[in-house]
Amino acid sequence: MPYYRAVGEIPHKRHTQFRRPDGALYSEELMGVEGFSSESALLYHVGLPTAIVDSAEWEPPGPISGAVANRPLKPRHFLTHKLDGAGLDAVTGRHLLLGNGDVRLSYVAATEASPLYRNAIGDECVYVESGSGVVETSFGALAVGQGDYVVLPTSTIHRWVPAAGSGEPLRLFVIEATGHIGPPKRYLSAKGQFLESSPYCERDLRGPSEPLLAEGADVEVLVRHRAGGTKLTYAHHPFDVVGWDGCLYPYAFNIADFEPITGRVHQPPPVHQTFEGPNFVICSFVPRKVDYNPLSIPVPYNHHNVDSDEVLFYTGGNYEARRGSGIGQGSISLHPSGLTHGPQPGAAERSIGAEFFDELAVMVDTFRPLEIGEGGVASEDPGYAWTWSGRHSGA
């Protein structure tokens, strides 16, 4: 995280005596990345954050990375809403769509509160397609809703609680990194402030504002870690932090607060970049005025990013460039390295003269090839690859 935040009660000086009302010491915990050499937070627990009473095997959903190679090579289309089911929660109900050794992309329509969960492999960036709820964490709670990106630092203990009584599931597109997710470095000054040229800034980020305290003993936490999954039982409830400060904490950013950068001719996807992670980027395509050169063609040119697999999650508006492809709300397209992709036939001509695109999409570009998980296999639209030609030799 790029800037400092303090919540609740903390001692004036770090690593000094800080006492509970009963006179005992609070337990100080440093949570930091890159081995004490980068962002960190200091949390003050009522109990010992080290006290566990049991450790048992737990099978996390999906393999560590992907599952099936994209062979034979094809562009793919996944209809995520086909994965809806009863009684799913935002952690154990995830369906793995795509993954590789760097990042996993999953989808879940959650209706139930999740167990307490810690992802010890990397940060998670969870995009809320629709619905609302609360993410409870040891740093405090975040109210979340449609269009929010929720960034959860590695190993943050948390749980997802969909809003009760709405009847609508909390639809989540989950991006799990192997490492850390944050704003692109080019958006930040050397000291970490968002630059004027960045499409968003500190004011657009929402962090926890007060401590979240819960009572309880022998509390289970599901942990996803480099060797698999484990169910740890903590002696005290991990939500026992009376205060914390630092530059590492969960936060939310709403896609509606992303200010698009536009131009006289078509602007390349890096202007839409929102976050970066190890070997992948996350971009936001938001409603915007489009290219205003008198001869401009507002839809993208055909392109082949030879070093990337490109994933697009269609999450609102209409998709003029994709008319005729079957793409709609909740669709995910995969355009892998090895193939050129672009608008559907006729879309370039139709777009001339357009002044505004009402589209909303989240893009993940990975630098290593993506494999297809069980959720991808189960939700694939098999005809998508042939929609540019209108035919298939085997059909």
Taking alpha carbons only, the member of 362, 365, 33, 2 closest to residue 174 is 362
Is residue 26 a contact partner of residue 18, using CB atoms and an 8 Å limit?
yes
Nearer to Fe ion, 27 or 325 (CB): 325
How many residues of this chain interact with Fe ion, rule: CB under 5 A? 1
Nearer to Fe ion, 81 or 341 (CB): 341
Nearer to Fe ion, 291 or 310 (CB): 310
Would the CA dihedral through 364, 225, 61, 232 be positive or negative?
negative
Distance CA 68, CA 65 (A): 10
Distance in Å, CB of 272 to Fe ion, minimum: 11
Taking alpha carbons only, the member of 220, 192, 261 closest to residue 38 is 192
Give residue for tokens 């990397």: 122
Chain residue whose CB lies nearest Fe ion:
310
Q: How many CB atoms lie within 10 A of CB 23?
A: 6
Nearer to Fe ion, 141 or 321 (CB): 321
Distance in Å, CB of 302 to Fe ion, minimum: 9
Nearer to Fe ion, 64 or 334 (CB): 334
Distance in Å, CB of 341 to Fe ion, minimum: 6
* 260-299 footprint of Fe ion as x/- string (CB under 5 A): ----------------------------------------
Interface of this chain with Fe ion, residues 310 to 349, rule: CB under 5 A: 310
Distance in Å, CB of 49 to Fe ion, minimum: 44
Is residue 133 a contact partner of residue 170, using CB atoms and an 8 Å limit?
yes
Distance CA 320, CA 317 (A): 9
Nearer to Fe ion, 28 or 310 (CB): 310
Distance CA 318, CA 336 (A): 23
When computed from its CA atoms, the radius of gyration of the chain, rounded to whole angstroms, is: 22
Nearer to Fe ion, 74 or 206 (CB): 74
* Segment holding 378, helix H or strand E: helix 374-379
Distance CA 90, CA 158 (A): 11
Distance in Å, CB of 65 to Fe ion, minimum: 23
Distance in Å, CB of 299 to Fe ion, minimum: 11
* 298-317 footprint of Fe ion as x/- string (CB under 5 A): ------------x-------
Taking alpha carbons only, the member of 140, 160, 163, 134 closest to residue 213 is 140
Distance in Å, CB of 303 to Fe ion, minimum: 6
Distance in Å, CB of 128 to Fe ion, minimum: 23
Interface of this chain with Fe ion, residues 77 to 136, rule: CB under 5 A: none
Compute CA distances 74 → 15, 77, 97, 362, 370, whole Å: 56, 10, 15, 21, 12
Distance in Å, CB of 300 to Fe ion, minimum: 6
Is residue 362 a contact partner of residue 255, using CB atoms and an 8 Å limit?
yes
Nearer to Fe ion, 129 or 310 (CB): 310
Nearer to Fe ion, 206 or 266 (CB): 266
Q: Which amino acid is at 289?
A: K
Whether the bond between 72 and the residue before it is cis, its omega within 30 degrees of 0, is yes
- Residues lying near Fe ion in the complex (CB under 5 A) are found at 310
